[in-house]
Structure 1
Amino acid sequence: MPVFKVFKRKLKRVGPVMVEGGLIKRTQVASRQAKQWVDRTIGYEARRILSRKQKIRPKQVMFITFQHEYACNPRYICEALLREGADVDIYWAVEDPFFARDLPDRANVHAVKINSYEYFEAAMSSRVIVINSLLGDKFYPFPVKKGQVVIETWHGSLGIKRFDLAHYNTNVSWPEAAKRTGELTTFCISNSSFEDSVFRETFWKNTRILHAGHARNDIFFDTYQEERKRWKEKFLKENGLDEKVKLALYAPTFRDDHKFAVYDLQADRILDALEKRFGGEWRLLLRYHDNDKKTESGLNNVKSGRVIDVTSLPDIQELLSFVDAGITDYSSWIYDFILGGKPGFIYARDIELYNNERGFYFTLEESPFPVAKNNDEMEENILKFDDTRYRAEVKKFLEDKGCIDDGHAGERVASLITRITQKKPVVR
């Protein structure tokens, strides 16, 4: 959707907003967005000048995530490069270079502050740029020139949420960034035939798709067996928990209006049901979406002495590797989680509304998870959970989507990057 159409749509709301008493607030938001647009336009022209002065460094690799953290697919691709001793110089875009959590302490790994001069300098001189979202959304865009390779790993795979422009255009920068990303991407990394079709119908209609699998899902296989054990031991120790305690993760996705009323899971009731059905002592790990981090502390309703807030942890994949059960509404992480074979549940109060506003690629009933619209149904789904049936439905779901994850995706993408930096032919 073009920028002028977004503004036109907002303009149509002026009358209703006046009636609702929110005109000043809406005007302030529009003014802020206009200033950002001016800053981005001027800034981009300045970066074009800087780009012309920057020579591409053949062995330099830049990693950028929308979380601005050492996380998601780029993290595990980076780890594969380091394990293999690849002759590359690595730059990571982070929120704070002096507090870059978990970033490897290696001579060839450098942290740069997102949107800083050093960040743009590194990005525009890198031979390979690895991203997991859109170029220009949440961070200012930079020119990508001939000789640079952009690898799109995305941050979901078998997820249910649509993100094409017709269904997801919540801010002015999204349409522009989406179109631009599609044009600049050299390779899309896919883990399934389902994701192939998602890439093709959104922004990457002509981009070369490589079937390597998703590096962040390597953690569910034997390749990360020791790491899983270490991550769990560290988490239990930091939170003063016995090694026998079982953990359930509740991590819903965000809403465009950032309202928290839909996140009303009754923690103690759900934990009691988990203990009754699966045995042992349970704790609930609560993790809100990255887009809700700034507001969750004042609006959170999921409270109990048995709840541990893990929203601030940089990488959800570590949690997925060792928790014993997962609960979400529409977040794509649970479609990674099923690779570990552990119970997953859907708790979603606003299915019809969310589907109308955002849209689904498939219905929740087509997923392998028991679906609950309220706490009564959620409790019942846990107490009546059929493990045999669940495993059969997970197997069928993965087969139907054509999932190829096998624990070696990181190696494949690392090999791709190495071949590019060594100027060798890229093999499918």
Structure 2
Amino acid sequence: MTLLGDRPLSAATRVAGCIGHAATARLSRVVERDPLLWVFGAQSGEAFTDNAKYLFLHVCAHYPEIRPVWLSANRSVVTTLRSHGYEAYYTYSPRGLDVGRRAGVTFLTHRFGDVCASCSGGALAVMLWHGTPLKRISWDWETGYRTRSVATRAATTYTYRRIDLLTAASEATRESFASAFRIDPEVIAPTGYPRNDVFAREIPGSGIGIDEGLRERVRSLASEGPLWLYLPTYRRIGESAGVVEHVDFAALDSFLAERGAFLLVKAHPFERLALDGDLQRVIRLPTALDVYPLLSATDGLLTDYSSILFDYLLLDRPLVFYPYDVERYRAERGFYYDYESVTPGPVATDFEGLLGALDAAMTEDANGTDDNGYASERARLRERFCREDENRSEAVCEAVFERLNA
């Protein structure tokens, strides 16, 4: 279990972080924090990505009176950001610790360890999170959280109660987040997710960390034929079999060749996916890649339980679902919504069914038809789960200013 994320942390690490957080919270009563110094971090400090990335870029571009600083435990991230003119520090360097101690606002995507948990006590804590939850998370995931040690559960409870603002994609998810984190629903603001702003306009800096050769290849593939993206979710249920046991990638490669199509495959950052080097139509993307700047180049999405399905609704393009272990996943992990009611596209549970579903979706998209009513289903879910204005980053800023001025 984690404080606010996917990768397990030791109980000692969690408790130490809480003690440090409490200590700096007390110190902040004496040494005032700077409300115009905002620090950002993501994915346990390992990457420049997700909602924190896009909000950081927005603040840098539109708020000269604010000092936005990116903190990372990955020195290459710091070097890259500095080379593009942004202020960034190694989290545990003297400058990084000093900035973390004085910042008035802290932005996170997974946990307080996205920056430095021990330095963030007393700052306004803004949890941007990393997706609309379809699968149950945190306290709502019975085997993932409630069976943990007393120390772990106490640290988790402490951490969640220090969230001052949690952003959500829409009002529809307020209840799920309040239940998962056991927090006051009023802490949750349906601002929409900053990462989705990239669908509406070009965002300077959004390509940082993405190899230009890869971006060019994706653009080239999109010009040659239908380009789909496969994003399977991260499975942590018992001894669940991985994607490679359920996808015959050689057969899939032949299927795509017959249709002049391509498939980008991106595994979760915490999973490894080895593919045959002879594949011509199936292209593996780096697991740490921020895929959002590339989504607009794709023609369709293949997934299972990933929250990206809700973001992809904003592009209004075909979706295919391959939940090969749906009954086990439903029993062991669980969903917040009836799975069949939030999957606006063909659903397959075996490989042959997957090929049929992809064929139907690609044909329907090429013909511009909606014989199965999937377009209207996407519209229904988009209205329910997405904020459709084009500046979600600004909505987050407004929510932060409101709390700072309260």
How many residues are paired up? 380
SS of equivalent residue, structure 1 residue 290: coil
The question of whether the paired residues in 2 share the 8 Å contact of 1:135 and 1:180 is answered with no
Other-structure match for 1:58: 35
Q: Indicate how the Cα distance of structure 1 residues 107 and 179 shifts in structure 2: closer, same or farther if over 3 A, else same.
A: same
TM alignment of 1:304-315, pairs within 5 A: 304-315=279-290
Other-structure match for 2:163: 185
Q: Indicate how the Cα distance of structure 1 residues 314 and 60 shifts in structure 2: closer, same or farther if over 3 A, else same.
A: farther
- 1: CA distance, partners of 2:63 / 2:177: 31
- 2: CA distance, partners of 1:152 / 1:89: 19
Equivalent pairs: percent with the same residue?
Answer: 21
**AA in 2 matched with 1:253:** T
Q: Which residue of 174, 182, 192 corresponds with 1:213? A: 192
Q: Indicate how the Cα distance of structure 1 residues 333 and 178 shifts in structure 2: closer, same or farther if over 3 A, else same.
A: farther
Superposed displacement of residue 110, structure 1? 1.3
Q: Which residue of 190, 194, 199 corresponds with 2:172? A: 194
Q: Give the structure, 1 or 2, with the largest relative contact order (CA under 8 Å, sep 6 or more).
A: 1
Other-structure match for 2:235: 255
Superposed displacement of residue 343, structure 1? 1.5
Q: Indicate how the Cα distance of structure 1 residues 240 and 127 shifts in structure 2: closer, same or farther if over 3 A, else same.
A: closer
RMSD: 3.7
- 2: CA distance, partners of 1:345 / 1:392: 15
SS of equivalent residue, structure 1 residue 124: helix
SS of equivalent residue, structure 2 residue 374: helix
Q: Which residue of 118, 136, 139 corresponds with 1:162? A: 136
Other-structure match for 1:142: 118
Other-structure match for 1:6: none
Other-structure match for 1:404: 387
The question of whether the paired residues in 1 share the 8 Å contact of 2:218 and 2:294 is answered with no
Other-structure match for 2:266: 287
SS of equivalent residue, structure 2 residue 136: coil
**AA in 2 matched with 1:373:** T
TM-score (norm 2): 0.79
Other-structure match for 2:104: 127
Other-structure match for 2:311: 336
The question of whether the paired residues in 2 share the 8 Å contact of 1:91 and 1:110 is answered with yes
The question of whether the paired residues in 2 share the 8 Å contact of 1:364 and 1:371 is answered with no
SS of equivalent residue, structure 1 residue 249: strand
- 1: CA distance, partners of 2:24 / 2:203: 45
Q: Which residue of 40, 47, 58 corresponds with 1:80? A: 58
Q: Indicate how the Cα distance of structure 1 residues 368 and 351 shifts in structure 2: closer, same or farther if over 3 A, else same.
A: same
The question of whether the paired residues in 2 share the 8 Å contact of 1:345 and 1:371 is answered with yes
Other-structure match for 1:266: 248
- Cα deviation 1:29-49 (Å, max 9, x = unaligned): xxx97xx43455456656665
Superposed displacement of residue 336, structure 1? 0.8
Q: Indicate how the Cα distance of structure 1 residues 247 and 228 shifts in structure 2: closer, same or farther if over 3 A, else same.
A: farther
Other-structure match for 2:320: 345
**AA in 2 matched with 1:407:** E
Q: Indicate how the Cα distance of structure 1 residues 176 and 42 shifts in structure 2: closer, same or farther if over 3 A, else same.
A: closer
- Cα deviation 1:153-205 (Å, max 9, x = unaligned): 11112x41110314132876864454233311111222212211112222122
1:384 is the counterpart of 2:360: yes
Superposed displacement of residue 269, structure 1? 3.5
The question of whether the paired residues in 2 share the 8 Å contact of 1:274 and 1:383 is answered with no
**AA in 2 matched with 1:198:** S
Other-structure match for 1:413: 396
Superposed displacement of residue 95, structure 1? 3.6
Q: Indicate how the Cα distance of structure 1 residues 360 and 38 shifts in structure 2: closer, same or farther if over 3 A, else same.
A: closer
TM alignment of 1:310-321, pairs within 5 A: 310-321=285-296
Range moving further from structure 2, 89-98 or 47-56: 47-56
**AA in 2 matched with 1:213:** G
Q: Indicate how the Cα distance of structure 1 residues 415 and 343 shifts in structure 2: closer, same or farther if over 3 A, else same.
A: same
Q: Indicate how the Cα distance of structure 1 residues 340 and 304 shifts in structure 2: closer, same or farther if over 3 A, else same.
A: same
Superposed displacement of residue 234, structure 1? 5.2
- Cα deviation 1:226-282 (Å, max 9, x = unaligned): 999998985353579454244221121122257553443233444554566xx5x32
SS of equivalent residue, structure 2 residue 202: helix
- 1: CA distance, partners of 2:380 / 2:211: 29
- Cα deviation 1:89-137 (Å, max 9, x = unaligned): 2222324223448636465521324x5665444323211111112335x
**AA in 2 matched with 1:414:** C
Q: Indicate how the Cα distance of structure 1 residues 46 and 407 shifts in structure 2: closer, same or farther if over 3 A, else same.
A: closer
**AA in 1 matched with 2:135:** K
**AA in 2 matched with 1:398:** R
- 1: CA distance, partners of 2:59 / 2:232: 32
Q: Indicate how the Cα distance of structure 1 residues 218 and 43 shifts in structure 2: closer, same or farther if over 3 A, else same.
A: closer
